[in-house]
Amino acid sequence: MRGALLHAVGDDKLDIRDDFTLAPVGPTDVRVRIKATGVCHSDLSVLSGVLPMPLPVIPGHEGAGEVVEVGDHVTSVQPGDHVIINWTPACGDCPNCVAGQPHLCMTFVMKSFTDARFRYGGDTPAFGMAGCGTWAEEIVVPWQGAIKVDPDVPYEAAALIGCGITTGVGAVLNTAKVRPGSTVAVVGCGGVGLSVIQGARVSGATTILAIDPLESKHELAKKVGATHAITPDQLMDAMATLTGGQGFDYGFEVVGKSAAIMTAWQATRRGGDVVIVGAGAMDDTVPLTAFNLLFEGKNILSSLYGGSDVRRDFPFFAGLYKAGKLDLESMISARIKLSDLNDAVTALKNGEVLRQIVIMD
């Protein structure tokens, strides 16, 4: 079986090899043949060490495929089903699951740091990113990590729903609960940022400002729903023009940097919601004062995986796509092969592309 392996943080190249094998399918596991998987900024964060993972690791978490084998106790899917990979499976029993926050479940996340599902070079263990490792032709996940989806949804679109769409649209619908007629500012126009923009459009926001230093991203932001697009240095003028200087009802940070969080804070009106969506580094602190936190009355909301219950939201987002409410095709920069992953990673690092989708042969 083929896959792409990261041996150590900071390696210049992924080790693309064809000698991977999988651990046996347990009674509550599902084996999935990956058909499409995204090249996401979170994958870059694994390569750089911003998101710590056990090593060696097969990156990839945004994927979709076909079920080829299920454990004896699995009833949710069967061989032949089309599924989207859920990189935060919910156990259903922990305090977060019981409290109705399955996206915060850590049960399987913690297991992924000790459970090496891959082998290579004979019997050398390797881990999968977030317990997945979709940059391999097949993976084994707990049944909660494989969510059935309508087979009419193309694998490429289904893969995007597995992370970028759920993270971005979910942040709007689930975390912020953006109201119709609201004003929204979105800092960062990558794949997740464009998903936030689309979620704001679906929610009925009347003003959606896209903020990104790369003007090359502005046209696409407008295509998928932004009413205006600017660079960060133009923010004060845009606030004056679009909100009378008051600021936006919602400010979404979709970069994973403290500077971007402060831009979202600045863009948000007093009493508005600042929504943190980007995955940042543990040592990147946000310079907010106690005075600001109290007297500006702004609400800071964390949105991990869009605050989603994927059993509900994956099919819902797939339905929005089928109804023409979500433009996923425009978000795909290129369709590539597994053997092209090193070039794809370089292109993403350089900001040359938006979302590349690996199509497995």
DSSP annotation of 57 reads E
- Side-chain half-sphere CA neighbours of 132 within 13 A: 29
Q: Are 15 and 7 in contact (CB under 8 A)?
A: yes
For residue 352, pLDDT beyond 80: no
Where residue 317 falls (left for φ over 0; alpha for ψ -120 to 50; beta otherwise) is: alpha
Give me the pLDDT at residue 355, please.
87
pLDDT tens for each residue of 24-54: 999 999 999 999 999 988 899 999 999 999 9
Do 278 and 256 meet the contact criterion of CB atoms below 8 Å apart? yes
Q: Are 158 and 82 in contact (CB under 8 A)?
A: yes
For 162-197, how does the pLDDT look when each residue is reduced to its tens digit (9 = 90+)? Answer: 999 999 999 999 999 999 999 999 999 999 999 999
Residue-level pLDDT at 353: 81
Give the model's pLDDT for residue 12: 86
CA 267, CA 223: separation in Å to the nearest integer? 22
Residue 146 is encoded by which pair of tokens?
A: 């494989």
**Range 275-285 average pLDDT:** 94
Per residue in 328-348, pLDDT tens? 999 999 999 999 999 999 998
pLDDT at residue number 350:
84
Predicted TM-score of the model (pTM): 0.95
**Cβ atoms of residues 176 and 151 within 8 Å:** no
Distance CA 201, CA 224 (A): 8
pLDDT of 201-217, one tens digit each? Answer: 999 999 999 999 999 99
Q: Percentage of the chain with pLDDT > 90?
A: 94
